[in-house]
Amino acid sequence: MSPGLVWRIGGARLFVRRGDLTRMAADAIVNAANSSLLGGGGVDGAIHAAAGPRLLAACRAIVAEHGPLPPGRAVITPGFDLPARHVIHTVGPVWRGGAANEPALLASCYDQCLALATAHALSSIAFPAVSCGVYGYPIDLAAPLALSRLAAGLAAGRAALAGMVLFSNDAFTVWARAAHALLGAPGEPAKDDII
């Protein structure tokens, strides 16, 4: 697994790395969920498979109480069998060309996840590329938007360590390039930088 790249933002750190999100020992990992919260393909299916059946039961209980989760919103559950203590589920927008409020909804996903991290006193959070799979959000548009929201959240003290875990080398390259353009050259990671 790639050790990743790290940028300092005040006293916090933002990372971009290649790897398997389900193996991250963060306080929370983010699930790119669908509105039903019942699992699906891609990262959603992988998280549900790794967390075990109690995650599905917890998600069913949330939907039974509050209804389907709309795009741009987030909820939190325990991590169950994952190394991460919690899973924050967010529903990204389906890409419809960019004129259907997709950028604001995607920004809200990252903001709401960071707000939940703060509310639950979680210091580290790892994200997938929300909406960039079957929902079709162009990765080259999603990366700078998401990274800017993470940087703003870290600067505001929402977490101590937050970043992206990308499954493929190609995705890692796009996100690393976007982070470099937004934040400048990465720093030298300290031993505790990468979760």
User: Would you please indicate which residues are annotated as catalytic (active-site) residues?
Assistant: 44
Apex CA 159: angle with CA 77 and CA 59, to 5°? 10
Q: What are the start-end ranges of the H helices in the chain? A: 42-51, 53-66, 102-119, 139-155, 169-183
3-state secondary structure (DSSP) of residue 185: coil
Which strands make up the sheet holding 124-127, listed edge to edge? Answer: 5-9, 12-18, 161-166, 124-127, 28-33, 86-91, 74-78
- CA 146 to CA 65: how far, in whole Å? 29
